[in-house]
């Protein structure tokens, strides 16, 4: 799903970083965001949006190499990769984009009721013998999404 997010006010990395660290424990352990002040339009692509039991989910495929076999794709190892690459910001922005889309498509849309969460599928770690290996799931705090909107 392609999306655009307008950035009407200057976006300053340190201010954005401070905000997301307040709401997301994963973000709190990340290296600082570093980018030039930006304004304009952010364009992105969500790999997959699906609906399950009345809730909408985002799924992002990752091909990161974390180790030789699926045992290297534990929740801790995936969280460390998420932090190192600042995928937390990616899923927060993706969530905001889907939230705005659903708000205009569902008459009685409510984040808590309709948004299920975000799934990162680390393809190299998926293992039918260990169902949680290679799958990192989270759900951005509704308060953070409200601050963005």
State the CB neighbour count (10 A cutoff) for residue 68.
8
Length of the chain equals 149
Catalytic residues: 60
Sign of the CA dihedral running 36, 40, 46, 50: positive
DSSP code string of the chain: -EEEEEEEEEE-HHHHHHHHHHH-HHHHTSPPP----EEEEEEEE-SEEEEETTEEEEEEEE----SSSGGG--HHHHHHHHHHTTHHHHHHHHHHHHHHHHHHHSTT--HHHHEEEEEEEEGGG-BTTBTTTTEEEE---HHHHHHH-
């Amino acid at each position: 799903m392609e999306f655009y997010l307008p950035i009407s006010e200057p976006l300053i990395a340190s201010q954005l970083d401070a905000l997301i660290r307040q709401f997301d424990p994963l973000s709190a352990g990340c290296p600082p965001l570093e980018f030039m002040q930006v304004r304009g339009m952010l364009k992105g692509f969500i790999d997959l949006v699906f609906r399950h039991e009345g809730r909408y989910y985002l799924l992002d495929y990752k091909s990161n190499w974390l180790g030789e076999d699926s045992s290297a794709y534990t929740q801790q190892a995936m969280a460390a990769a998420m932090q190192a690459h600042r995928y937390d910001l990616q899923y927060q922005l993706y969530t905001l984009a889907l939230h705005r889309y659903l708000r205009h498509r569902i008459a009685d849309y409510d984040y808590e009721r309709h948004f299920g969460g975000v799934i990162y599928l680390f393809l190299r770690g998926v293992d039918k013998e260990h169902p949680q290996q290679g799958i990192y799931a989270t759900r951005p705090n509704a308060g953070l999404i409200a601050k963005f909107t």
